[in-house]
Amino acid sequence: MNIIIFGPPGAGKGTQSNFLIQDHGMFQVSTGDLLRNELKKVSELSKQIKSIMDAGKLVSDNIIYSLIEKKLSDKEIKNKIIFDGFPRNLDQVSKLELMLQKHDQKISKVLNLKVDYSILIKRLSGRISCSNCKKTFNEFFDPPPSNCCQKQEFIKRSDDNEETVSKRLKTYDNETLPILEFYKKQNKVVDIDAMKQITEVRKEIRGIIAS
């Protein structure tokens, strides 16, 4: 089965995707990973992507589509794919559905990770990391111990602030959330309370896949 793991920034999509890989031998497809992997290759496409990124521009949807279609054409991972962070809007949904149909595949389930936005803002804006050991903490939910490292300095990403996070959530509401309605009409959406403990969410997803 192919799965879309869906939810706002900070809902835990990456974490649960990793569990799906471990528990069910699935393969994650995220646009960021696809771009990074392509950049490691010596190809005309990698040169094109590098020049675009070096210029500070966004990679076009057409390039993303070509990378995703490469994965869909790989028989080794057919019907074992987790889409993480894609599609992001209804235009991308339409294109994905066409590519899936071309390669005789479909989306079986959309796992919708639900988290209150007040919690998401704290999850994202509270992220800090130790400059020495690089371990990540959260000022609100998982503060660093006083003995983390002898010479410790905690770093916060410049975009991990409440204003930026709120803007990201607004973009999600306007552009990405409408995707759910498309898949709800096909009875493919399963809502999951992602405010539970990570292990509980993992267990619930295991049950969904098993059924």
pLDDT in the model for residue 124? 87
- Per the DSSP assignment, residues forming a β-bridge with 107 are 2
Q: At residue 148, what are phi and psi to the nearest 5 degrees?
A: -55, -55
Could you tell me where the DSSP H helices lie in the chain? 13-24, 31-39, 44-54, 61-72, 90-102, 117-125, 162-171, 178-184, 198-210
Which regions of the chain are under pLDDT 70? 150-152
pLDDT in the model for residue 151? 63
Which residues, 6 or more positions from 111, have their beta carbon under 8 angstroms from its beta carbon?
Answer: 3, 4, 5, 6, 16, 190, 192, 205, 208
Give me the residue spans of the domains in the chain. 2-115+170-210
pLDDT digits (tens, 9 = 90+) for 18-75: 999 999 999 999 988 898 888 898 888 889 998 888 887 878 899 999 999 999 999 9
pLDDT in the model for residue 150? 67
pLDDT in the model for residue 54? 83
How much is the pTM? 0.85
Check residue 172 and report its DSSP letter.
I
Q: Which CATH architecture has domain 2-115+170-210?
A: 3-Layer(aba) Sandwich (3.40)
pLDDT in the model for residue 32? 84
**R_g of the chain computed on alpha carbons:** 19
pLDDT in the model for residue 58? 77
